[in-house]
């Protein structure tokens, strides 16, 4: 309202006096125009800030200026905008009339600036000195409290500023403020974002330069980011090779699952760390340790921020430490020296195996003070006391003491310990060693003992003996010295000996003795010594130095031997006696001279007496004395030979002598007849003791007998596997004779594929080990395999060296045979079970065929040939039915034995096989008595013969001759009962020798493709049932190959043979007549 009013007060009324239409109307129109314009300007102003957004403050200032000029009719305008954001202060000025305004502003803006509120009309400003026009000025602050600056506008119009102009100016200033505010905001935001960018840049730089791997991994394992250190770790040459790929691929396969779990856990918001191995892109394995935290990304998903370190080196170092620790343990475990560690207070914390061995405790027992229990009771208190002191005060231990609580197990040990210091010199415990010195102690004891023994000996001998220190100080004399000189040890100690010397000789003795002490040379001199009786006797004195290992003299050893003539004589006598004894003892040969005619011994020396067990003082004069001692078993031979001697022969014999105290001595006696004047005079002979040799021989014979009679093969071989002995069983088992095998390699009997076994065996033998019950296979000369169980022991010579092996091979084939038989039985049982189940299936069709054949026969009665065939078919069917019933276990042959004509049975069978025999061009020679008849089970006998004929046919695939003989005969061997002998002979291929033994066993077949292996087994069963016997002869030799089966069947059945059949009949339960 004030606007309108102020505008109405303006001078327009007088400046626009117009006639015409109602001035009211005109004025209204004018007003309307003004209003329209003001409105338009307002609209223009109000949209301006939108155009200013994002502009600099200068642009805004210019914009405001132009706007004001265009909306208000101005002569001058000035806009000052204070520094906002990074931009400095900015002023724009515009003036239509020259530069005076600009000048004025320059002069007055400082006056304008400090004003708190710049609002409203300023005092008019003279435009110029030559002009009367005043510039009316109006100012406005931009923004609150002039916070953005101010604007000053001027016009020379007297009505300036009009109300609407004031309004427009205010709005313009306000709009400018708005624009500037947003500009400032934008600038501030820019600054902030720049700061942000800078900080991110810095962060990136840090990430890029850190030696650790920094990575971002999505929950599914996608690698979002990875720094260059990380890329280097996984061996990626550039980021593209890794980023966006799945990080699991670079994890070691065994750690992938673990890492996946870890990643997923982090992405669920947990923090954590993990150790794992990576293989990288290039397969280089590193051990890593990662610390990770969840990180929420801009799109809201959570990823893993992980910082990963390569700890391979650390791991390696740890491993190295562990290894070195392990090495220490291994070293200490195998160390020959016992080793222990204690803590600072002396409690044992570690002992090695050797230490435990010496001290007799276990690792656990030794811990703490536990070891003390194992110290020998006599030493325990002393050791404990000392150890406690060392543990308390530090210091070193070096002690010899005993371990073990019983005297049997006692061991001497030298125990040393030293404090163990850490790097900085503080005590951390004690470390010690334990050495077993039991042996040393023992030898010391032995030494002492031998020293004592020596002194005992030295006291016992007749010489005077003494010992001196290296400097000649005599510290010991033997008893002989004191007895001879009659002195006491006190008198003699050191140089006291001088008192028993002849004063005249003493200086020489002393001089020479001292010389020897100085040079270390032996001393030898004869000088007189005074005896207890006061008489001087010459003594040969010898002194030798005793030296240690370094050659230093440890003592002098001296003897004084009485060399006076009486002493000498005594000595000679003793020596000759000793020699005599020695000679007698050394010679074992006894000699004699005997007159065979008178029976008198002219000589029978002491040795011979000894050999015969006579006392040397006994007289052996006549033959009877001698004969009484000879073993009675040897006597006849001895007498015989003696008789021969009388006829002039020499004598030589080994015989036994019965010693008085139950012993037997073997003597070798050899004698020769002495001749005189062409006549035999007496027998001269010598006897030696050969008992030892005889005993050795005996042992050897016994051993040889054992070896030879053993059922096991006993083989000796040397370390190269060359056979050195080969007993009879070995010959039988392997087929090689001893003469063939001795000197040959044992490999001869080892199958080629098992030859490596021998190396194993020999190496064990060389180590002195035994091999027991080693089950293996050996090969005979014929190439057959033998299952053997070997026991092999090393053979040593007298010195204990291994020189070969003794091998005992036991034939296991028998055992294997039993196993095989067991298996066969199992097979039979299985077959039996099968038979029961198929019985029905076979019996029913047989019934049907039986009926059909019967019908066919009936219907074809008129056609003679066909009906003949059917009769035969029916008979054969009957046999099939019979065999099926028998084999399949349901029905047993219960028909009673009937008379059978053997020849007819054969003819029937040959008729049946006629076609097959023809095809194989087998010629049949029948040699049988037509009328031989026996009582038997016809079906079974037929079956038995049929089996033999078919076998013969199979043996002659390329033709041949089959001879069938039937004749009456007596049974061979035992019973001699009469019966029929049937011989079925072919000249076919023959049966291999190794197969003959198994021929009659069930399931044995050489015709794997056609045979059941039951034929001969059944045949034998049938023959045996009839009280008969079946035998086979076969040859595979060229020119005479072929097989002959011979069956004997008695005319009258043995009652024993029929019984099983009856028994079965009863037990079968079902039967028909």
In terms of Cα–Cα distance, which of 639, 670, 673 is closest to 654? 670
Question: Of 447, 511, 452, nearest to 476 (Cα)?
Answer: 452
Spatial distance between the Cα atoms of 612 and 689, rounded to a whole number of angstroms? 10
Give the up-direction half-sphere exposure of residue 404: CA atoms within 13 A in the CB hemisphere: 13
Closer CB to another protein, residue 881 or residue 985?
881
Closest approach of another protein to the CB of residue 834, in Å = 14
Strand, helix or coil at 536? strand
Q: Which helix (H) or strand (E) holds 699?
A: helix 691-709
Could you give the CA distance from residue 1003 to residue 1011 in angstroms, rounded to a whole number? Answer: 9
E strand segments, 563-614: 590-595, 600-604
Q: Measure CA 793 to chain center.
A: 28
β-sheet bridge partners, residue 679:
676
Min dist. Cβ of residue 884 to another protein (A): 8
Specify the pairing of strand 1029-1035 against strand 1042-1050: antiparallel
H or E element, residue 979: strand 978-986
Q: Are the beta carbons of 367 and 355 closer than 8 angstroms?
A: no
Cis peptide bond prior to 161, omega within 30° of 0: yes
d(CA 308, CA 310): 7
DSSP structural state of residue 239: G
Residue 482 or 891 having the CB closest to another protein = 891
Minimum gap (Å) between residue 897 Cβ and another protein: 18
Please state, in angstroms and rounded to a whole number, the distance separating the CA atoms of residues 799 and 181.
Answer: 118
d(CA 201, CA 203): 5
What is the number of other CB atoms lying within 10 angstroms of the CB of residue 988?
Answer: 23
Instruction: Kindly list the residues in this chain that would bind another protein in the complex (CB under 8 A).
Output: 836, 839-840, 842-844, 846-852, 854-855, 858, 874, 878, 881, 884-885, 889-891, 1066-1073
Smallest gap from residue 881 Cβ to another protein (A): 4
Cβ closest to another protein, residue 634 vs residue 874: 874
Whole-number Å distance between alpha carbons of 976 and 960: 34
Q: Which of 153, 148, 149, 177 is nearest to 165 (CA)?
A: 153
Q: In what order do the strands lie in the sheet with 960-970?
A: 922-928, 960-970, 978-986, 1042-1050, 1029-1035
- Report the candidate in 781, 790, 787 with the shortest Cα–Cα distance to residue 820: 787
Residue 714 near residue 725 (C-beta atoms within 8 A): yes
Residue 333 near residue 356, CB atoms below 8 Å: no
Radius of gyration over every alpha carbon of the chain, rounded to an integer in angstroms:
68
Which phi and psi (to 5°) does residue 651 adopt? -120, 135
Sign for the pseudo-dihedral over CA of 810, 813, 816, 817: negative
CB-neighbour burial class of residue 831 (10 A; exposed 0-12, middle 13-18, buried 19+): middle
What three-state secondary structure class fits 214?
A: strand
Q: In what order do the strands lie in the sheet with 302-310?
A: 223-226, 213-217, 302-310, 286-296, 272-278
Nearest to 669 by CA among 645, 694, 686: 686
Task: Return the structure tokens found at 903.
Answer: 């020849």
The answer to whether 51 and 60 have CB atoms below 8 angstroms apart is: no
Task: Read off the DSSP letter of residue 896.
Answer: P
Quote the crossing angle between the two packed helices 2-9 and 163-209, to the nearest 10°: 130
Separation of CA 520 from chain center: 64
State the CB neighbour count (10 A cutoff) for residue 345.
Answer: 12
CB 140 within 8 A of CB 170: yes
Q: Look up residue 278 and give its DSSP letter.
A: E
Least Cβ distance, residue 1053 to another protein (angstroms): 22
Complex with another protein: residue 126 or 838, whichever CB lies closer: 838
Minimum Å gap between C-beta 845 and another protein is 8
Contact 55, 151 (CB under 8 A): no
């Amino acid at each position: 309202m004030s606007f309108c009013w102020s505008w109405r007060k303006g001078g327009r009324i007088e400046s626009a006096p117009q006639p015409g239409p109602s001035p009211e109307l005109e004025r209204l129109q004018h007003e309307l125009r003004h209003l329209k314009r003001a409105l338009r300007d307002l609209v223009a102003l109000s949209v301006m800030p939108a155009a200013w957004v994002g502009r600099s403050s200068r642009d805004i200032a210019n914009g405001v200026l132009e706007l004001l000029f265009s909306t208000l009719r101005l002569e001058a305008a000035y806009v000052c905008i204070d520094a906002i954001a990074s931009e400095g202060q900015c002023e724009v000025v515009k003036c239509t009339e020259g530069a005076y305004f600009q000048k004025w502003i320059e002069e007055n803006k400082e006056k304008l600036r400090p004003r708190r509120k710049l609002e409203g009309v300023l005092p008019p400003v003279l435009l110029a000195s030559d002009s009367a026009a005043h510039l009316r000025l109006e100012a406005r602050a931009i923004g609150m409290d002039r916070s953005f600056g101010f604007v000053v506008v001027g016009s020379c119009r007297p009505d300036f500023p009009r109300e609407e102009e004031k309004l427009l100016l205010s709005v313009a200033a306000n709009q400018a403020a708005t624009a500037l505010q947003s500009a400032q905001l934008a600038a501030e935001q820019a600054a902030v974002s720049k700061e942000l960018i800078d900080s991110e840049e810095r962060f990136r730089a840090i990430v890029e330069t850190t030696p650790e791997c920094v990575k971002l991994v999505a929950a599914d394992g996608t690698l979002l980011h990875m720094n260059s250190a990380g890329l280097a770790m996984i061996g990626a040459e550039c980021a593209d090779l890794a980023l966006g790929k799945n990080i699991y691929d670079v994890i070691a396969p065994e750690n992938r699952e673990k890492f996946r779990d870890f990643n997923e856990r982090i992405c669920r918001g947990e923090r954590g760390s993990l150790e794992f191995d990576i293989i990288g892109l290039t397969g280089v394995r590193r051990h890593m340790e990662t610390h990770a935290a969840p990180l929420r990304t801009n799109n809201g998903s959570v990823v893993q921020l992980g910082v990963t370190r390569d700890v391979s080196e650390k791991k390696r170092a740890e491993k190295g430490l562990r290894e070195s620790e392990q090495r220490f343990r291994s070293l200490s475990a195998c160390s020959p020296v016992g080793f222990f560690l204690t803590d600072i207070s002396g409690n044992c914390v570690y002992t090695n195996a050797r230490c435990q061995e010496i001290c007799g405790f276990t690792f656990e027992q030794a811990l703490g003070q536990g070891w003390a229990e194992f110290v020998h009771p006599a030493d325990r208190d002393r050791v404990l006391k000392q150890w406690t002191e060392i543990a308390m005060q530090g210091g070193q231990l070096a002690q010899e003491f005993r371990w073990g609580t019983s005297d049997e197990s006692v061991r001497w040990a030298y125990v040393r310990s030293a404090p163990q210091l850490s790097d900085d010199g503080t005590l951390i415990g004690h470390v010690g060693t334990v050495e077993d010195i039991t042996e040393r102690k023992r030898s010391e004891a032995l030494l002492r003992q031998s020293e004592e023994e020596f002194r005992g000996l030295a006291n016992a001998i007749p010489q005077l003996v003494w010992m001196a220190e290296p400097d000649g100080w005599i510290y010991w004399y033997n008893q002989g010295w004191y007895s001879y000189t009659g002195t006491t040890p006190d008198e003699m100690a050191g140089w006291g000996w001088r008192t028993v010397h002849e004063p005249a000789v003493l200086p020489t003795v002393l001089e020479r003795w001292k010389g020897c002490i100085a040079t270390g040379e032996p001393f030898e001199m004869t000088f007189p010594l005074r005896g207890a009786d006061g008489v001087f006797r010459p003594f040969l004195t010898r002194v030798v130095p005793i030296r240690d290992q370094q050659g230093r003299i440890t003592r002098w050893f001296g003897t004084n031997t009485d060399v006076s003539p009486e002493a000498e004589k005594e000595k000679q006598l003793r020596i000759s006696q000793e020699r005599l004894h020695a000679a007698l003892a050394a010679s074992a040969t006894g000699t004699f001279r005997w007159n065979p005619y008178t029976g008198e011994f002219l000589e029978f020396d002491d040795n011979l007496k000894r050999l015969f067990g006579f006392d040397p003082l006994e007289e052996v004069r006549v033959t009877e004395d001698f004969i009484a001692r000879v073993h009675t078993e040897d006597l006849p031979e001895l007498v015989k030979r003696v008789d021969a001697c009388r006829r002039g022969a020499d004598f030589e014999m080994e015989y036994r002598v019965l010693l008085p105290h139950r012993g037997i001595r073997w003597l070798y006696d050899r004698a020769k007849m002495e001749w005189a004047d062409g006549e035999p005079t007496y027998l001269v002979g010598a006897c030696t003791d050969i008992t030892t040799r005889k005993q050795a021989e005996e042992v050897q014979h016994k051993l040889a007998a054992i070896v030879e009679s053993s059922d096991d093969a006993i083989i000796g071989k040397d370390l190269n596997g060359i056979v050195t002995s080969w007993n009879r069983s070995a010959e039988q088992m392997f087929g090689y004779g001893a003469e063939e095998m001795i000197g040959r390699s044992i490999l001869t009997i080892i199958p080629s594929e098992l030859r490596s076994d021998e190396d194993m065996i020999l190496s064990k033998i060389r180590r002195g080990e035994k091999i027991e019950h080693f089950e293996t296979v050996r090969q005979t000369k014929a190439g057959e395999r033998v299952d053997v169980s070997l026991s092999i022991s090393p053979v040593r010579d007298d010195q204990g060296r291994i020189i070969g092996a003794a091998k005992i091979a036991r034939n296991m084939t028998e055992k294997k045979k039993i196993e095989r038989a067991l298996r066969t039985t199992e097979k039979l049982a299985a077959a039996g079970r099968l038979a029961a189940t198929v019985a029905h299936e076979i019996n029913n069709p047989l019934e049907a065929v039986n009926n059909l054949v019967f019908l066919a026969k009936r219907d074809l009665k008129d056609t003679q040939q066909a009906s003949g065939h059917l009769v035969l078919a029916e008979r054969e069917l009957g046999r099939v039915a019979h065999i099926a019933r028998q084999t399949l276990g349901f029905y047993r042959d219960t028909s009673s034995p009937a008379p059978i004509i053997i020849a007819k049975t054969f003819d029937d069978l040959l008729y049946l096989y006629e076609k097959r025999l023809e095809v194989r061009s087998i010629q049949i020679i029948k040699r049988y008595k037509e009328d031989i008849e026996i009582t038997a089970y016809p079906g079974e006998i037929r079956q038995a013969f049929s089996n033999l004929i078919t076998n013969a046919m199979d043996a002659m695939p390329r033709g041949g001759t089959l001879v069938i003989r039937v004749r009456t005969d007596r049974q061979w061997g035992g019973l001699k009962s009469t019966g029929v002998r049937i011989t079925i002979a072919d000249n076919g291929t023959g049966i291999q020798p190794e197969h003959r033994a198994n021929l009659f066993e069930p399931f044995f077949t050489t015709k794997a493709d056609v045979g059941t292996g039951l034929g001969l087994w059944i045949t034998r069963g049938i023959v045996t049932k009839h009280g008969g016997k079946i035998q086979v002869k076969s040859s595979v030799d060229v020119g005479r190959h072929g097989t002959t089966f011979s069956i004997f069947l008695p005319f009258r059945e043995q009652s024993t043979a029929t019984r099983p059949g009856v028994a079965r009949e009863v037990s079968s339960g079902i039967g028909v007549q």
